[in-house]
Structure 1
Amino acid sequence: MEVPVRRSRGWSDKTLKLWNPHKGTALRTYQGHGYEVLDAAGSFDNSQICSGGADKAVALWDVTTGQVVRKYRGHAGKVNCVQFNQEATVIVSGSIDSTVRCWDCRSRRPDPIQVLDEAKDGISSVKLSAHEILTGSVDGRVRRYDLRTGQLCSDYIGSPITSVCFSKDGQCVLAASLDSTLRLLDKDTGELLGEYTGHRSTTYRLDCVLNEQDTHVGCASEDGSVYFWDLVEGSLALSLPVGQGVVQSLAFHPRLPCLLAATQGQVTLWREDNFQPDGDPGT
């Protein structure tokens, strides 16, 4: 069954674009997918990019040269989401074919080193920690695979999942779903710790995030805004207008107080007034 959750990114021209967000300058365009690009992620050392597309392929790119290093094929449908592990030795991909596949970046083997096929519908979101794979599926379940113990933990939300992420302290899981609700779960027990509403999410695959201090949860919305709630109190803390269309992509910088949001081919950056980019005090 094809995922009934739509994601219309600014990559329908089959390319990826690398930008300096602080200067607003385009650095490089990456061409190599046969159809639209649905997701991309960078390695922690910024030397590589992985991407997934509607051509059912996962691509590994060299950031500097702009060339495709490897292409991984094996999914039977569109690749919705991709992530590197911390060492950038493995790419994890999720597809509408209901599987999660792990690809070895260091070897030339064409087949995945592991296939996770417990989901009953398309995979919409994948996140990694040091030893865990977290997935969200259109079947309404959040699944967490502990790679050290081989254990699978599954929590049933009910509504199709659009995005999942770990809290920075590693104790909680945040899940967004198509009932216009964010849910914070205890990672180990699955206990519901909080619910957050006020945004609109009924059709598209929208991102959810936690800020760098784990004090606020955020979610993109179909009404053109980004919403943030106090994690503990559950009260709406902030609404950021982005544009007229659906806000589909949302991401915090891993260390700095910067937020990126994307809608209809436009990427918007928010940062603190006194923010200075690393190594560029004049920017």
Structure 2
Amino acid sequence: MMTRRAFSASKDGTVLHWDVDSGKAEKYQWPNDEILRSHGAKNPEGRTTKHSRNVLALAVSTDGRYLASGGLDRHVHLWDTRTREHIQAFPGHKGPVSCLTFRKGSSELFSGSYDRSIKIWNVEDRAYMNTLFGYQSEVLTIDCLWQERVLAVGRDRSMQLFKVHDESRLIFRSSTSSLECCCFIDNSEFVSGSDDGNIELWGIQKKKPVYIVKNAHTLSTDVDNGELKDNGRNYNGHIASSWVSSVCVCRGSDLAASGAGNGSVRLWAVEGAGKGIRPLHDLPLTGFVNSLAFAKSGKFLLAGVGQEPRLGRWGHNSAARNGVAIQRLKLL
């Protein structure tokens, strides 16, 4: 039986390879600066420190052979998942690498950065290919399917769809909030999450959302006494909502998930632009839900949970544990 694998990383530079069935993890070892330079690194911020190894993003190739990581040292690092060895460092970004994604079924890797650019790499050839421009602020999240199209959101309140082959792009704007995360549903529809707690459904033909779930992670009201509660905690009657920090879609299905800064993970049925998004189930956690990923099989959902937000330190939850939460699913 093939081992079901998952990967996680943290701000202390730890990169872990998980066996989902047993819950055991194996650690990736960072090479020293001399080896990093021989692998292509440029000025890896002097000594090897926890700060310079701060990892903000991970991505796994479709065939599971390569793992890419990025963070504060401004490099994209390539690892071999079979040996857990570091094999290449791609320099070029002038700011922290904030997001990564592989193009499905190919060796193309896309990296987004605080330097407002998206770079394209070929991991098989270990080569830089191109740079995409268009953002006025930091790039926060990127996603890609099988076509050479990249979906990205940035802190300039825009979501952009880059058509790489055509050298063109479509710009989608949210007028009331800052978009935090995005994900393709298919080639013509995508979903995003915002810092005002909303989830938006978009169609490629319109520049505005076709459907909005407002306050998607707002705390529910206890009917008996009117007090608002979340994960057993009382909020003294104040309506508390949380920004949506991550979204993902189970490929080949209508199932989507969103995670928020208050520890809430929610499952949704995406019924299309005509009908919108319907809530299915709540998965309460403790901490900041910084990433979400469905297994290819659709049999489980992974949530990266931390005491702090992925891209900052503006919040802290000491009750949370840094780690990966696994929710097994049964699709009907």
Q: How many residues matched?
A: 261
Between the aligned partners of 2:16 and 2:282, the Cα distance in structure 1 is 28
Decide whether aligned partners of structure 1 residues 148 and 249 sit closer, same or farther in structure 2, where only a CA change above 3 A counts. Answer: same
Counterpart residue number, 2:313: none
Amino acid at match of 1:84: F
Asked whether 1:124 is paired with 2:166, we answer: no
Counterpart residue number, 2:164: 147
Is the deviation greater in 52-61 or in 193-202? 193-202
Between the aligned partners of 2:331 and 2:58, the Cα distance in structure 1 is 29
Between the aligned partners of 1:106 and 1:234, the Cα distance in structure 2 is 39
Indicate the structure whose relative CO is greater, using CA pairs within 8 Å and at least 6 residues apart.
1
Decide whether aligned partners of structure 1 residues 70 and 36 sit closer, same or farther in structure 2, where only a CA change above 3 A counts. Answer: same
SS at match of 1:223: coil
Matches within 5 A, 1:90-239: 90-109=108-127, 112-129=128-145, 130-158=147-175, 159-167=177-185, 169-196=186-213, 197-199=215-217, 200-202=241-243, 206-232=245-271, 234-239=277-282
Question: Deviation per CA, 1:120-152, whole angstroms, max 9, x where unpaired?
Answer: 000001111222111111111111111232221
The CA deviation at 1:176 is 1.0
User: Please, which runs of 5 or more residues in structure 2 have no aligned partner?
Assistant: 1-7, 32-47, 218-240, 307-321
Between the aligned partners of 1:214 and 1:274, the Cα distance in structure 2 is 9
Amino acid at match of 1:219: S
Amino acid at match of 1:267: V
Counterpart residue number, 1:280: none
Between the aligned partners of 1:191 and 1:13, the Cα distance in structure 2 is 39
Conservation of the 8 A alpha-carbon contact between 1:35 and 1:53 = yes
Amino acid at match of 1:228: L
Amino acid at match of 1:126: I
Conservation of the 8 A alpha-carbon contact between 1:212 and 1:257 = no
Counterpart residue number, 1:6: none
Decide whether aligned partners of structure 1 residues 101 and 248 sit closer, same or farther in structure 2, where only a CA change above 3 A counts. Answer: same
User: Please, which runs of 5 or more residues in structure 1 have no aligned partner?
Assistant: 1-8, 276-283
Question: Deviation per CA, 1:142-192, whole angstroms, max 9, x where unpaired?
Answer: 11111232221010113222111110x322011111111110000233352
Between the aligned partners of 1:30 and 1:258, the Cα distance in structure 2 is 27
Identity of aligned residues (%): 23
The CA deviation at 1:227 is 1.6
Decide whether aligned partners of structure 1 residues 29 and 183 sit closer, same or farther in structure 2, where only a CA change above 3 A counts. Answer: same
Counterpart residue number, 2:41: none
State the TM-score, normalized to the length of structure 2: 0.72
Amino acid at match of 2:75: A
Between the aligned partners of 1:93 and 1:180, the Cα distance in structure 2 is 26
Asked whether 1:29 is paired with 2:2, we answer: no
Counterpart residue number, 2:89: 71
Conservation of the 8 A alpha-carbon contact between 2:199 and 2:216 = no
Counterpart residue number, 1:281: none
Amino acid at match of 1:240: L
Decide whether aligned partners of structure 1 residues 229 and 89 sit closer, same or farther in structure 2, where only a CA change above 3 A counts. Answer: closer
Return the match for 1:80 from 98, 101, 106: 98
Is the deviation greater in 29-38 or in 121-130? 29-38
State the TM-score, normalized to the length of structure 1: 0.84
Return the match for 1:62 from 74, 80, 87: 80
Return the match for 1:50 from 57, 64, 68: 68
Amino acid at match of 1:55: D
The CA deviation at 1:214 is 4.2
Return the match for 1:258 from 280, 291, 300: 300
The CA deviation at 1:88 is 4.3
Between the aligned partners of 2:269 and 2:124, the Cα distance in structure 1 is 42
Between the aligned partners of 2:323 and 2:251, the Cα distance in structure 1 is 24
Return the match for 2:329 from 272, 275, 281: 272
Structure number with bigger Rg: 2
Decide whether aligned partners of structure 1 residues 46 and 229 sit closer, same or farther in structure 2, where only a CA change above 3 A counts. Answer: closer
CA RMSD of the aligned region, Å?
2.3
Conservation of the 8 A alpha-carbon contact between 2:9 and 2:16 = no
Between the aligned partners of 1:274 and 1:108, the Cα distance in structure 2 is 38
